[in-house]
Structure 1
Amino acid sequence: MWVTVAIVVVLIALILRYTGRPKGLPPGPTCYPIIGNVGLVKPSEAVQAHRNLRKKYGDIYTIMTFHKPMIAVHGYDNIRELLVKHGDIFSDRPLTIINGVFNKGKGLVWSSGPLWKEQRTFALTTMRKFGFGKRCLQDQIMEEVDCFMEELEKYENKPFDIQNILNTSVSNVICSLLFGKRFEYEDTKFKRLVVLLNKLFATGNASSPAFIFPVLRHLPMSRYTTVQNIFADIDGFTSEIIAEHRRNFDGNNINDFIDGFLLEQNEAGENSTFTDEQLKISVREFFAAGTETTSTTIRWSLLFLLHHPEWQQKLRDIIDAVIGQSQPKMEHKEQLPLVEAFILEVQRHANLVPLGLPHAPKEDFHYKGYHLPKGTFMFFALDSVMTDPEIFPEPTKFKPERFLDNDGKCNGEQKERLIPFSTGRRLCLGDSLAKMELFLFLTRLLQKFEIKPEKSECLPSLEGKLGITNMPAPFDIVLIKR
């Protein structure tokens, strides 16, 4: 009997331990025993679910995944206060399946602490040597843009899905910086890699319990194996290129990121963060992020051009008036505020990473009377900024003019409060490159082609599908050469 009582007491203690919300955390929905709030937020409907939770519990609330709290933060002022003013404290990443299993704490996007600081500084310094974020890179981008235009001419007047061709072209820009070379559109191995990359971003979802609890990858129906295989294929591809660089390495002739890393690795010696594993993961992350986010934003741009032909005409008219058919350059951006305003409004509506990438405080922190424990999984909902009617009146409407001031120039204050690349110390590494690519690719497309839907009476949907990023459903366009 005493054994039975002891078992019951232990079970009750365990249920109490793994039930409810720890004291001091922000409010949230009632927790169920053991599972907490698992099932409350479906990954495919995460954005709307968090909008509903915000209405009920306020800008800051907690949902429990089993016994593990996940704190959501909404609102521009809250996000800026924590990620900018207290950026150092909130610069870590929480434990997830990516840094806990796939990356083992290495890389650039998912790493934390001293390794992240050292590697981010090195990556930015090295990439800038090759023009990353500088106007001198625009000639290299335009070479790729014009190759892209030539490829698109093959599809003139025929409906087609631009996704894979666009991904290949955008990817070639980051490949030039990483590998020192571009790939042909018909390169079979590279084409397969681009398709896998798209599948990766469509498959993963940061709201999945398995993302937060790596151990759940062992359950049946887990997407772990799919993601693992995609990572392995990408790493296999990049490892071959790294091995080639190592064989031909010349410390006096540094041409790309891999060369720069190998040079630093040779000089750093043993027990440094410049390991072979760190190089492989950093290249994978640069390659993935430098391809997917930009190409997806351009696809959203094409989708909004189909739905708003009046804006397609406005943009084309101003481009024709300012630069005609001359090659666009970044210095033209100030002369083409309508183009910039259109891109900004597309980014706002596309809402590419609506919940942002997760952060974790590196120490216990108190904010607005709430306790935010060290290491807690925290979402900073960029969606709450993109759709804020106080910042962007009538947020559901597509109105690029909201980014223009009374003089027809881009409104600096509105631009600053649009944070599609997040903000603070974990601001996307490639934001400056992405801005250049978006302007140059889109301007050239409008110069060269009129963009039409496959069926004017049946436009493709503006509803996105949320994976790692918010992606439009596949759609066909028709290009008519001007």
Structure 2
Amino acid sequence: MQMLQELLHLEGIGITECLIFLFVFLLISDYFWSKPPNNFPPGPPSLPFIGHLFHFDTKEPHTTLVNIGKKYGDVFSLRIGRRRLVVLSGYKIMKEAFVQNGDIYIDRPSLPLLSDLTNHLGILASNGHQWREQRRFALSTLKYFGVGKKTLENAITEESRHLNENVTEKNGNPFDPQYLLHNAISNIICSLVFGHRFEYTDGRFQELLRLLEELLRLQGSASGRAYNVFPKLMKLLPGGHKTLFSNWAKVKAFVRVEIEQHKKHRNLSEPRDYIDCYLEEMEKCKDESAGFNEENLCCCTMDLFGAGTETTATTLRWALLYMAKYPHIQQKVQEEIDQVIGPSRLPSMDDRINMPYTYAVIHEVQRSGNVIPVSPPRMASKDTTLAGYSIPKGTVMLPNFTSVLNDENEYMTPGFFNPQHFLDDNGKFVKNETFIPFSIGKRACPGENLARMEIFLFFTSLLQAFTFHCPNGQQLTLETKPGITLGPKAYKICALPR
């Protein structure tokens, strides 16, 4: 430092002047590095170096995107660090991008956090031929084991019995439904992937669910977002991202134990579940680029758990919260259940067509709950145009589903819970093509059919057996808890047997 000071003194340059020069140099460099290309979508002014990183509402960042969209239109740009991304708002523009030009926007961008966790393996983070093969295999295997069929419906119905028994044990006292619902939904995925379910009292399984919930929450935290912008720096700092990587390793270890058990006890003539089928595919598939290996099996299994448990369980948490908060709607659902199903048998998927009000309520739960407010990003695979703007190859595209599910032109009271959004004047259920909680295009959720079955069967069986209400002297809030999924803050309700 002394030598530098002496050198600067000889040259007649002070420390202050040197720092000012360095700062100006970095500003100019940042400007040229981050300068948008010609005809790029417009966006709000950004700060040097960090862009719009701290521009967002930390609790509900999707609302920030909605507000910016009102000023800059359905296609606008943001800058996170040095990276520019394009945000899409409204159903029309998303359909143009992901359906009409689906092959251009089919890839996922390489985000540091997801890349370091998965090494681009699994179904969510992979691209190209490997992604197509893994998705194809997952869809065909889930279908083989009953997704969309009566066999799986029976498994869900049986699990709903276990769920109802556990709710009954609460004896009408206040309880948080989160882990009971996660248990029930996870057991359906466990049946498909592991070939067996877990008891609700299983401590090892309870720890797995806690790790998964925390893992997803931390990915959407400030620490997780900062990791995607400054990965090298964040690796050196403490924070929630460290817990995230630790949890990922623990969940992965849990999956590896299951895989080892399957390898020891396989029935080669009759596969029992997804893992058995995957191990068989590993032996048969000669195409190494398809990625059928044990590491990918771990990541695909974790993707199925994350996508197949958290989103559906969170939707059901919203459903019970809305029913307790709006008892007149709950009563109408129960009247329809009593009329169509009665008290003596559990609901079936065949009942759905005769229950338009209940089906409308479920849709409104998904719309208003808005569990995936911003879809996982896509990426332009070549230079293209969208809505008249230039989109260079590699541009990250961020679909803001909130703008679609709260579109004032499609839903008469988007800020309120209103099942009439999905009913006509005669009380019949009405489809709305802008209802896209499972996304659209070739990257749409592969577990959509499974989720629809689970939500309908669990929801109707719970309301057939119980009336949910707010504990005495308390008030229920619709405030949200941020994360990868948007769930309600922890709450307690009472379930009275009917």
1:398: Cα distance to partner? Answer: 1.5
1:9: Cα distance to partner? Answer: 9.3
Q: Is 1:177 the counterpart of 2:192 in the alignment?
A: yes
- Measure, in 2, the Cα distance between the counterparts of 1:350 and 1:238: 30
1:340 is aligned to 359
- Aligned residue for 2:415, secondary structure, equals coil
Q: Is 1:276 the counterpart of 2:294 in the alignment?
A: yes
Which residues in structure 2 correspond to 1:164-313 (within 5 Å)?
Answer: 164-205=179-220, 208-211=225-228, 214-269=231-286, 271-272=288-289, 273-313=291-331
- Measure, in 2, the Cα distance between the counterparts of 1:8 and 1:98: 29
2:5 is aligned to none
Decide whether aligned partners of structure 1 residues 443 and 11 sit closer, same or farther in structure 2, where only a CA change above 3 A counts.
closer
Decide whether aligned partners of structure 1 residues 73 and 2 sit closer, same or farther in structure 2, where only a CA change above 3 A counts.
farther
- Measure, in 1, the Cα distance between the counterparts of 2:23 and 2:326: 65
Counterpart of 2:169, as a letter, is K
1:209: Cα distance to partner? Answer: 3.6
1:437 is aligned to 454
Structure 1: 4+ residue segments shifted above 6 A: 1-10
Question: Which residue, 63, 68, 72 being the options, matches 1:53?
Answer: 68
Which residues in structure 2 correspond to 1:313-462 (within 5 Å)?
Answer: 313-325=331-343, 326-412=345-431, 414=432, 416-455=433-472, 457-462=473-478
Whether the 8 Å CA contact 2:93–2:387 is kept in 1: the answer is no
1:355: Cα distance to partner? Answer: 1.2
1:307-339 Cα shifts (integer Å, max 9, x gaps): 110011111111111110212100000011111
Whether the 8 Å CA contact 2:336–2:355 is kept in 1: the answer is yes
- Measure, in 2, the Cα distance between the counterparts of 1:198 and 1:143: 24
Counterpart of 1:392, as a letter, is Y
Whether the 8 Å CA contact 1:19–1:31 is kept in 2: the answer is no
1:124: Cα distance to partner? Answer: 0.5
Identical pairs, percent: 36
- Measure, in 1, the Cα distance between the counterparts of 2:468 and 2:23: 69
Of residues 337-346 and 219-228 in structure 1, the stretch that sits farther from structure 2 once superposed is 219-228
- Aligned residue for 2:490, secondary structure, equals coil
- Measure, in 2, the Cα distance between the counterparts of 1:179 and 1:35: 44
Whether the 8 Å CA contact 1:355–1:381 is kept in 2: the answer is yes
1:153 is aligned to 168
2:495 is aligned to 479
1:38: Cα distance to partner? Answer: 2.7
Whether the 8 Å CA contact 2:56–2:64 is kept in 1: the answer is yes
- Measure, in 1, the Cα distance between the counterparts of 2:474 and 2:163: 27
Decide whether aligned partners of structure 1 residues 314 and 88 sit closer, same or farther in structure 2, where only a CA change above 3 A counts.
same
- Measure, in 2, the Cα distance between the counterparts of 1:263 and 1:334: 39
Whether the 8 Å CA contact 2:160–2:461 is kept in 1: the answer is yes
Decide whether aligned partners of structure 1 residues 23 and 101 sit closer, same or farther in structure 2, where only a CA change above 3 A counts.
same
1:126 is aligned to 141
Of residues 15-24 and 164-173 in structure 1, the stretch that sits farther from structure 2 once superposed is 15-24
Decide whether aligned partners of structure 1 residues 219 and 63 sit closer, same or farther in structure 2, where only a CA change above 3 A counts.
farther
1:479: Cα distance to partner? Answer: 1.0
With the length of structure 1 as denominator, give the TM-score of the two structures: 0.95
- Aligned residue for 2:339, secondary structure, equals helix
Whether the 8 Å CA contact 1:161–1:474 is kept in 2: the answer is yes
The number of residue pairs the alignment matches comes to 479
Counterpart of 1:343, as a letter, is I
1:294: Cα distance to partner? Answer: 0.7
1:54: Cα distance to partner? Answer: 1.0
Q: Which runs of 5+ in 2 are unaligned?
A: 1-10
Q: Which runs of 5+ in 1 are unaligned?
A: none
- Aligned residue for 2:40, secondary structure, equals coil
1:241: Cα distance to partner? Answer: 0.4
- Aligned residue for 1:157, secondary structure, equals coil
- Measure, in 1, the Cα distance between the counterparts of 2:95 and 2:405: 14
1:12: Cα distance to partner? Answer: 6.3
1:84 is aligned to 99
Whether the 8 Å CA contact 2:226–2:234 is kept in 1: the answer is no
Whether the 8 Å CA contact 1:158–1:478 is kept in 2: the answer is yes
Decide whether aligned partners of structure 1 residues 194 and 12 sit closer, same or farther in structure 2, where only a CA change above 3 A counts.
closer
- Measure, in 1, the Cα distance between the counterparts of 2:21 and 2:361: 67
With the length of structure 2 as denominator, give the TM-score of the two structures: 0.92
Counterpart of 2:331, as a letter, is Q
- Measure, in 1, the Cα distance between the counterparts of 2:25 and 2:176: 59
Cα RMSD over matched residues? 2.1
Decide whether aligned partners of structure 1 residues 421 and 215 sit closer, same or farther in structure 2, where only a CA change above 3 A counts.
farther
